Amino acid sequence: MANSAARRLNEEALGALNGRIETPAYDRRCLHPSIIHLGVGSFHRAHQAVYLDDLAAIGGEWGEKGVGLLPQDRGVAEALGLQQGLYTLLVRNAEADEARVVGSLLEYLFAPERPEAVLTALADASTRLVTMTITEGGYNVDERTGRFDASNKAVQADLKHPTRPATVFGYLTEALNRRRLAGIPPFSVLSCDNVHRNGHVIQTAVASFARMRDDTLANWIERYVSFPNCMVDRITPQTTDAERELVAREFGVADRWPVITEPFRQWVVEDVFNNGRPALEKVGVQMVADVLPYETMKIRLLNASHAAMGYLGYVAGYRTVEAVMADQNFRSFITCQMRDEVAPLLPPVPGIDLDVYQQTLIERFSNPKIGDQLARICMDGSAKVPKFLLPPLNDALNAGRPHRWLTLALAGWLRYLSGVDDQGREILIQDARAAELQSLASMARDDPRPLLGLRDIFGDLADREEFVTVLQATLRALCTHGVHVTLVRALGNSGS
C-alpha cells in the first residue's frame, strides 16, 4: 500500500481513523438490509449508497446488500468483502477534498460463486426493494421496437435453467416466482441507469422474460410489482491508484477501492413503490409523480454533451473531460449544442431553470480535480449513442430545427471508430460490438449507409438522404483536416 501509516479499512479501524475523514454516525448493526442492489459499480457507491448513508445518520433503517452478477465483479467483491462493505468516498473540486467512509452497504454477494445465496436473499420477505445499475446496454430491450430480445444467448440459457439463472432477468423472475409461491409480497424494482424511461424498460424486460416462463407468473408481476422511473446524476470517474494513494496519504486510510466523485448529486424518483421505501425525500431526493422531464433534460444535456466531447475530444488527443473543457473551441461547441439544439426542444422541467442548469454543467465538466476519463465516457458507444445522442438529433431533424453540432458529435463517434486518433495513436474501442462497428466504420467515409444500416443502433437515419450527405461531408472533413481545424471552421461559420 502507498502509505504504511495508513490503516486498513474495516469495522475495527473505524474508531481509530483520523479526524479528517468522516465515519458513519450510526450503528450499522441497526440497519436492515431491505434493499438489494445489483451491479455495485463506482456510480452506485457515489450515489444511492450515499443517500442511504445520509438517511441512516438521521435515523433511517434501510441498509443494503450489494450483488455482483458478472465475472468481472470479482475485484470489487474481494475489496468490499475484506472491508465488510465499507469504502471511502472522496469528493473533490477546485476548492476542497472531502472524504467519508460510507456504511450503508452491509454485505456483498458475488453471484457467480453464490447464486443460491443471491436467490435466497432476493426471495426473502425482508427484501422490499431491488435496485440496479447494470449499464445502459444491460437491459436487452431493442431501442427501436421497445421489445425484449428473447434470442439473446444468456436469456435462452436462463430460460432453460430458470432455477439457476445468470442474468438479471433470470434472477429477478426466479426470486419473484419463489415469493409468489410462498405468499410473500413482491419487492419493487428500481432501475438507476441512464436509460430513457428506465422503470418502464426494466418492467418490459422482466415481464417479457417471465411470460416466456409462465403466464401466471407474468400476470402476477404485471399486477403487483412496481417499477418506478428515476433520474440519477453524479459524475463518477473510474478509480485509479492515484486516488488510492491520495486517500492513504491525506486521510490515513488504506482502502482497496475508494470511489472518487464530484460534490453535485441529484436523484429524482417516481413515487410508486409496492412494498414501502426509504424516506429519501429527507436527504434531498426529489420524489415526484412524473420523472420524464427531469430524465430527458439530464440525458440530453449531460450525457449527450459527454458523448459529443468524448469521441471528438479523444480523437483530438485529449484524455480527460477537464482537458477538453479547457479548450475554448470545445467549450463553445458544447455550449452551442446544449443551448441552440438540445435545450429548445426540451419540455419545461418543474423547478429548474434550464439556462442555470447548462451553466452548472459547464462548471461540473470543468472540475479540475476529478480527472474524469474520456475513455470511460467513450466506452459502450453502441449502447450509449442511441440513448444519449440520437434522441435529440432525431427530434431536431423531425422538427426541422438546427442540428449541425449534434451531427458533428455523431460524425465524431464514426471517426473515433476508425481506431486511430489525429496524432496516429491507436484507440482501443471498448464496446461489445466493436468488431462489427469498426469494420463498417472503416468504409463510412466513402459511404456511411452500411454502418447506418445497423438500425437497432441508428434507427432510420440511413433513410434521411439530406442528413446522410451532411454527415458524410462532416466525417470527411474530420478525416482530412482533423478535429481541431474542423471545429474551428464550424465555429467560424456559425457566428457563435
Q: How many CA atoms lie within 13 A of 250 on its CB side?
A: 17
Site for ligand CS2 in 8-67 (CB under 6 A): none
CA distance 138 to 78: 23
Backbone φ and ψ of 463, nearest 5°: -80, -10
CA distance 397 to 393: 6
As measured in angstroms, the least distance from the Cβ of 279 to ligand CS2 is 23
As measured in angstroms, the least distance from the Cβ of 220 to ligand CS2 is 33
Among 183, 226, 253, residue whose Cα is nearest residue 10? 253
Residue 218 or residue 307: which is nearer to ligand CS2 going by CB? Answer: 307
Q: Taking CB under 6 A as the rule, does residue 194 contact ligand CS2?
A: yes
Site for ligand CS2 in 62-81 (CB under 6 A): none
Residue 246 or residue 302: which is nearer to ligand CS2 going by CB? Answer: 302
Size of the site for ligand CS2 (CB under 6 A): 9
C-alpha cell at 214: 409462465
Return all residues near 25 (Cβ < 8 A) that are at least 6 apart.
57
Q: How many CB atoms lie within 10 A of CB 390?
A: 21
3-state class of 266 per DSSP? strand
Q: Taking CB under 6 A as the rule, does residue 193 contact ligand CS2?
A: no
As measured in angstroms, the least distance from the Cβ of 323 to ligand CS2 is 16
Contact present, 433 and 439 (Cβ < 8 Å) = no
As measured in angstroms, the least distance from the Cβ of 406 to ligand CS2 is 16
As measured in angstroms, the least distance from the Cβ of 319 to ligand CS2 is 15
**Cα Rg of the chain, angstroms:** 23
Which position has the grid cell 468504409?
443
As measured in angstroms, the least distance from the Cβ of 194 to ligand CS2 is 5
As measured in angstroms, the least distance from the Cβ of 211 to ligand CS2 is 31
Site for ligand CS2 in 408-447 (CB under 6 A): none
How are beta strands 87-92 and 266-270 bridged, if at all? unpaired
DSSP character at residue 337? I
Residue nearest to ligand CS2 (CB): 306
Q: In sequence order, what DSSP letters do the residues of 156-225 get, joined into one string?
A: HHHHHSTTS--SHHHHHHHHHHHHHHHTPPPPEEEE-SS-TTHHHHHHHHHHHHHHHH-HHHHHHHHHH-
As measured in angstroms, the least distance from the Cβ of 270 to ligand CS2 is 18
Stretch that binds ligand CS2, among 110-118, 153-161, 299-307, 421-429 (CB under 6 A): 299-307
3-state class of 488 per DSSP? helix
Q: Taking CB under 6 A as the rule, does residue 92 contact ligand CS2?
A: no
**From 28, 45, 196, 384, residue interacting with ligand CS2 (rule: CB under 6 A):** 384
Displacement of CA 100 from its chain's centroid (Å): 22
Residue 171 or residue 267: which is nearer to ligand CS2 going by CB? Answer: 267
Q: Taking CB under 6 A as the rule, does residue 303 contact ligand CS2?
A: yes
How are beta strands 266-270 and 230-233 bridged, if at all? antiparallel
As measured in angstroms, the least distance from the Cβ of 302 to ligand CS2 is 6
Per-residue binding string, ligand CS2, 113-152, x by CB under 6 A, is ----------------------------------------
As measured in angstroms, the least distance from the Cβ of 145 to ligand CS2 is 24
As measured in angstroms, the least distance from the Cβ of 174 to ligand CS2 is 30
Per-residue binding string, ligand CS2, 224-243, x by CB under 6 A, is ---------xxx--------
Q: Taking CB under 6 A as the rule, does residue 306 contact ligand CS2?
A: yes
**From 336, 377, 487, 490, residue interacting with ligand CS2 (rule: CB under 6 A):** 377
Q: How many CB atoms lie within 10 A of CB 335?
A: 17
Backbone φ and ψ of 294, nearest 5°: -65, -45
Q: Taking CB under 6 A as the rule, does residue 158 contact ligand CS2?
A: no
Residue 10 or residue 359: which is nearer to ligand CS2 going by CB? Answer: 359
Stretch that binds ligand CS2, among 22-30, 302-310, 440-448, 472-480 (CB under 6 A): 302-310
Question: How buried is 223 (Cβ within 10 angstroms: 0-12 exposed, 13-18 middle, 19+ buried)?
Answer: exposed
Return all residues near 286 (Cβ < 8 A) that are at least 6 apart.
266, 267, 268, 269, 294
Residue 3 or residue 266: which is nearer to ligand CS2 going by CB? Answer: 266
Exposure string for 77-100, b = 16+ CB within 10 A, e = fewer: bebbeebbbbbbbbbbbeeeeebb
Residue 26 or residue 139: which is nearer to ligand CS2 going by CB? Answer: 139
Q: Taking CB under 6 A as the rule, does residue 300 contact ligand CS2?
A: no
As measured in angstroms, the least distance from the Cβ of 235 to ligand CS2 is 4
Among 433, 453, 445, residue whose Cα is nearest residue 471? 445
Residues near ligand CS2 (CB under 6 A) are 194, 233-235, 302-303, 306, 377, 384
